[in-house]
Structure 1
Amino acid sequence: MRSIEAHGLTKEFKVYQSRPGLAGAFRDLLNRQYRVIRAVDAIDLTIDQGEIVGYIGENGAGKSTTIKMLTGILEPTAGELKVNGYDPHREREKFVRTIGVVFGQRSQLWWDIAVQESFRLLQKVYRLPDEQYKRHLGRMVEVLEIGDLLDQPVRKLSLGQRMRCELAAALIHQPPLLFLDEPTIGLDVLVKENIRRFLKEINKELGTTILLTTHDISDIEALCSRVVMLDKGRIIYDGSLTKLRLNWGGGRKIHLDFAKNVQLNELEQRTEGLPVKWEQTGQRQYIAHIHHGELAVSEVLSRVVQYVPVQEMRIEEASTEEIVRQIYQEGMTIV
């Protein structure tokens, strides 16, 4: 079953252009000029139920506009869109009962009342039976460790405390689809880890589909097996992190410190036929540049170690953040 199915999804905005100077201001009163900005450009996106997908891109790439269309806040200019089987904009009242949303910089809790009172209000909004509400809330309170926060006003919570309560509020009605927009922004390492663990648990236990937008690549690495990369309103990559690293990570480097002297040409002869290039960095220190594949790494080591003993070894590969940065800097399209 598909949680999200979008074909040719497009959103355009008409932006007013002002002309310079006093004369330009008078002209604008009588004859305004506009230009059209295409924030999302005919994207195709399908997400199956139970997936955790990272949706990433630079500022202005169109991420937030996409999320607003998927949640029914904005109506698409063109294209077809179904989320949980509904048209998010035209069937809004039925649709919003099937989603949860957490925006890192916006709160859905009432600022001046206790957290538990916000939860009770949400129970009434979603018309949840008492037994179902108490059972599910109790589970979230336990996992998110927010029991001590329930009687505190939201305005007195720290950012990390509020974000844990925001997650509980978004999931209080057990929606099959959860949208997360920068959920760990500004949080310390321990709070981030707790939130990631909680998200993995609800995905595993309840089959909750999660669409995560973030600039923190470590969130993507910790949670997502699939990543969708957006640039200038278009999808430039949709696939697994493993494939992204394999094809665009620039390979791996094996740093070797041998126990005795060895010549560069001897290492080249031993690894002839493999996708490897040797670089000497010291009398006994070499770097083997592996172009692709984990099999090549093991094969290089098996050929070399039986010939000359290795004193120290370190395998290095480009991080996902470095790969993503390179893709955007070079403007590559890798779909």
Structure 2
Amino acid sequence: MRMIEVEDVTKSFTVRRRTGRFRRSRARVRAVDGVSFGVEPGEFVGYLGPNGAGKSTTIKMLTGILTPSTGTVRVCGLDPSRQRTALARRLGVVFGQRTTLWWDLPLRDSLTLVRHLYRVEAAAFRSRLAELTALLELGPFLDTPVRQLSLGQRMRGDLAAALLHDPRVLVLDEPTIGLDVVSKATVRGFLERLNTERGTTVLLTTHDLGDIERLCRRVMIVDHGRLAYDGGLAGLRDVVGADRQLVVDLARPAPPITLPGVEAVRVDGPRQWLRLPREANAAAVVAAVAERHEVVDIALRETDIEELVTRLYGRARDDRAPSR
């Protein structure tokens, strides 16, 4: 059974717009427009898109906060909007800009209250809390009031609260937003272990593309409510036609290197940047450069994920633009 199934889902809202000084009109806006996808057990999937693309609306339908206008949504085999209580026992959710912890209580007491909400047995709670305390390094601040925790500490506390009942699916909405480098590394490392060692299915929405590169083997990109891409990062490079760059350090400055199918896009003293098409044989290009020039160092660079996603957004906008 798939952990998440979304079939031809739309979600529309009625919005009021000013049409004059004293007049307003109503309009129907589709936040999600015919999205379909499935997530298998144990997958770690990134769900990307610009602001207003429909990511948060999708997440709210998956968690039962919103009901689809059309189509069907099932999570762990359940209808989220009709079986929210049953689903809550199998689903963990973390919203990076909101906390589920009690502001004036120590973190330990907040987690104890969460235990009662999910009706976790005392022995299972003690075992699970000890495990999460070790993995998330909660020990130094378990007895600190939540309001006194740093952002990174609070996020780790929220992750512990979402996982106390050992859910089968974890949905994360911007879990590393605003975190420093050390806190991000801690959270990413924990999520990676959670997925690989416990087999927890994870759906991650984020604007931090470093999270995607580190954690996700599959990426879904939504734009204006429609699924623009679903596949691996390597496939995304093929879809957008991303070139590679060969950075060559020569022993001495030289004119731009000329080779069939290769373009010198920048020259800075002895260093040159060569653009290689995806289909080019990098080893053959390196050999040709080394045969003609004295090479000190050479490096092959792939187009980074941020540039790939930006190009895909641009392509989607071009496809939607009316022809003239």
Tell me the TM-score normalized by structure 2.
0.91
The 8 Å contact of residues 249 and 318 in structure 1, kept in 2 or not, is answered as no
**DSSP-derived class of the 1:201 partner:** helix
Q: For 1:24-43, what aligned pairs fall within 5 Å after superposition?
A: 24=23, 33-43=25-35
Matched AA of 1:290: L
Does 2:233 match 1:241? yes
1:118 to 1:257, Cα distance in 2 relative to 1, 3 A: closer
String of CA shifts for 1:179-238, please: whole Å, max 9, x gaps: 100111111000000000000011111101111111111111111111110111000011
The 8 Å contact of residues 249 and 317 in structure 1, kept in 2 or not, is answered as no
Identity in percent: 43
> Across the two proteins, how many residue pairs are aligned to each other?
318
**DSSP-derived class of the 1:110 partner:** coil
Does 2:303 match 1:318? yes
**DSSP-derived class of the 1:21 partner:** coil
Q: Say what the alpha-carbon RMSD is for the aligned residues.
A: 2.2
Matched AA of 2:274: A
1:21 to 1:306, Cα distance in 2 relative to 1, 3 A: closer
Pick the aligned partner of 2:107 from 105, 108, 115.
115
Match of 2:87 in 1: 95
Q: For 1:170-319, what aligned pairs fall within 5 Å after superposition?
A: 170-248=162-240, 250-259=242-251, 268=259, 272=260, 275-278=261-264, 281=267, 286-293=272-279, 296-319=281-304
Looking at structure 2, the residues matched to 57 and 179 of structure 1 have their Cα atoms a distance apart, in angstroms, of 16
Looking at structure 2, the residues matched to 103 and 283 of structure 1 have their Cα atoms a distance apart, in angstroms, of 49
Looking at structure 2, the residues matched to 278 and 65 of structure 1 have their Cα atoms a distance apart, in angstroms, of 45
Tell me the TM-score normalized by structure 1.
0.88
Match of 1:5 in 2: 5
Pick the aligned partner of 1:166 from 151, 158, 175.
158
Matched AA of 1:14: T
**DSSP-derived class of the 1:298 partner:** helix
Matched AA of 1:315: L
User: How far is the alpha carbon of 1:307 from its aligned partner?
Assistant: 4.8
The 8 Å contact of residues 96 and 176 in structure 2, kept in 1 or not, is answered as yes
**DSSP-derived class of the 1:328 partner:** helix
The 8 Å contact of residues 256 and 267 in structure 2, kept in 1 or not, is answered as no
User: How far is the alpha carbon of 1:20 from its aligned partner?
Assistant: 3.1
Runs of 5+ in structure 2 lacking a partner? 320-324
Which of the two has higher C-alpha Rg? 1
Does 2:51 match 1:59? yes
